[in-house]
Amino acid sequence: MLCTTLKWVGPHELSILDDAKVPERPGVYVFTEYHTLPYPNKTRPTPNHPNYVKMIEESRVTPCLLYIGKAANLRKRFKGYRLRWPLNARKQKGQDTNYRANRHKGRALLHAHQFFDKPIYLWWTESNSPKELESSLIKEMHPVLNTKEVIFFDQD
């Protein structure tokens, strides 16, 4: 497996990460709900599978790998992933209250994850060909937020 042969740096809890520790180099990064080395999620069933909903719900009970991305400069890329200010806080001097939902679906979902106080762990590996490495890792590791269609379930 490709993911086990890479030199991963982490885990770093996203909410308290010191940006100075992140290299200004190209690479691939992953966000996980767990603090052990990144490992593949179970393969997601196709939407026409008879037990699709049940299988997706069961897969979200256990911590998983959330997202895989690539960056020409890892340090610059991470700054947009951290939710910087609480959305329910009163305006303080100098605080940006013009928060707009991010058009990047994965980033917006990671912001939501952080808003509900769920820790997210960041890992990265440097690479001279991050686009190819990201593509290979997505196929191998099945991250839940790298899909074109993300399904939400009511928690009734």
Using 50, 70 and 90 to split pLDDT, how confident is the model at 134?
A: very high
Q: What is the DSSP string of the chain?
A: -HHHHS--EEEEEGGG--GGGS-SS-EEEEEESSSSPP-PPPPPPPTTSTTHHHHHHHHTTS--EEEEEEESSHHHHHTTTS--S-TTSPP-TT--------SSHHHHHHHHHHHTT---EEEEEE-S-HHHHHHHHHHHH--TTSSS--------
Q: Are 109 and 145 in contact (CB under 8 A)?
A: yes
Domain segments of the chain as ranges: 2-86+100-141
> Tell me, which fold does domain 2-86+100-141 have in CATH?
GIY-YIG endonuclease (3.40.1440)
Q: Which of 16-30, 63-77, 81-95, 111-125 is predicted with the least confidence, judged by mean pLDDT?
A: 81-95
Six-digit token string for 117: 């106080």
- What pLDDT is stored for residue 19 in this prediction? 86
d(CA 12, CA 75): 13
- Does 133 score more than 70 pLDDT? yes
Looking at per-residue confidence, does 152 or 27 come out higher?
27
pLDDT one-digit tens code per residue, 24-80: 999 999 999 999 999 999 887 888 889 888 887 777 777 889 899 999 999 988 877
Looking at per-residue confidence, does 85 or 138 come out higher?
138
d(CA 91, CA 85): 10
What mean pLDDT is predicted for residues 136-144?
A: 91
pTM recorded for the entire structure: 0.76
What mean pLDDT is predicted for residues 82-89?
A: 54
